[in-house]
Amino acid sequence: MQSSRSDKHPVSGTRSGKKVPSSRFSRLVSLGGLASRLAGNIAVEGSKKVAQGHRPRINELLLTPNNVKKVADKLATMRGAAMKVGQLISMDAGTMLPPELSAVFDRLRSDGEVMPATQLISVLEKNWGADWQSRFTQFSFKPIAAASIGQVHSAVCQDGRHIALKIQYPGVRESIDSDIANVVMLLRLSGFIPKSLDIEPLITEAKEQLKAESDYWVEGEHLESVRHKLESYPRRDELITPLYYPDQSSRDILAMSFEFGEPLEQSLANAPQRHQIMELIFDLFFTELFDFGLVQTDPNLANYLYQPDTQKLVLLDFGAVRSYTPDFVRDYWSAIEAAVEEDEEQLAAALGKLGFFNTSAAVANKPIILAIFMLAVEPLRCEGMYSFGSSNIALRIHELGMSISKDPDAWHTPPPDVLFLHRKMAGLYLMAARLDTQVNVRSIFLKTQRQMNL
């Protein structure tokens, strides 16, 4: 077999290999060491402040650039649940967290460190045996991508198929519960998470979501389901979805057809077609939710590629695909319609059905929640093109969210189905802004409205 260290796609958002802690004990020790270093840094910084005649607050000592960097570095090195819980907390509570910690979680959404070759080979041997190389005529040891629970490699099978192999970091699946418990404890003790913020429903869902995402047989099934659904999508010819190869897959390794393309941010920077591609992504989202009831809930620029020669969008990563019931879809559509029409009474009724106001504290915050929801659908009310690049919608939503955070006891975490859907919507807005696009989202809304009312 010939090994190759050159790839068609550059590694993006990754750094040189560091061994992933693979046992529960080593992962716990890793976090414990971080806690000790944070405590030491706090003592040093506190002594400096006192010597200068100041009486510092604990948050001032915790949220130093040095401490924030240590937390980000540790979570990025551990990957798995350690990274995922940070991503999910920021998804739900981003408006309530200090900007320094939000920056940490922003990095975790796109950054990862690759496994050293020795650890990679141990994973391959565990799944395929010592003669794993006999499966391929070519295998690239340099990953083309790295994320929270795995990294992707290029290979050529003996039968000539060029495949992409997503290979899971060791210890991720076995350490999910302990990882999440340890990370939450660390963030609680460090003061990074407000004491009054109830994240238990979120943590429970994070465990279940990560367990599903760490089973690559399940992701393969998701990929097959999405491919089947897309057969009826009117714009399917504008998309490329990888083929799933179960004969080369396992719980730890996902094999797909290798699809060539360029990263969106690289290929579409200032390109006129970026507006059409972003419009396609929005259109696909509306179809996923209101037609398929099957949504890829992790919108990230790294989950797409663009082929300039065919002008097609390549879809990647199906681990976070989530199913929605017809009842949920109907209630959520009612909420969107009411928000677009700025009908507070109907919006409150729809959100109530979705579980937004299950506590007296949440009811006390109802006006702010309604205002945030109505603001979030601003692009759907805009006649013509909505300029995401010049919009300050994220800032305005943040400011409304901060008015809730001033009364932490009144915060209520929405149901998981809503939470992951909002993760998708917020991610799409961020992508559209990052690419500086203008999209007629209202035309997509009106088309969906006609279909929903049939």
Structure tokens at 258: 């290798």
Identify any residues that bridge with 439 across adjacent strands, giving them in sequence order.
Answer: 386
If you search the block for the tokens 């300029």, which residue do you land on?
Answer: 387
The tokens for 75 are: 């979570």
User: Which tokens hold the place of 338?
Assistant: 């009411």
Determine the 3-state secondary structure of 451 from DSSP: helix
Residue 51 is inside which H or E element, if any? helix 24-51
Which token pair is 90? Answer: 């920021």
* Tokens 């080369």 found at: 248
The catalytically annotated residue of 298, 317, 331, 417 is: 298
CA distance 407 to 365: 9
3-state secondary structure of 269: coil
Cα separation, 236 vs 238, whole angstroms: 5
Residues 127-158 as b or e (16 or more Cβ within 10 Å = b): ebeeebbebbeebbebbbbbbbbbbbbbbbbe
Is residue 309 annotated as part of the catalytic site, yes or no? Answer: no
Give me the active site residues, please: 298
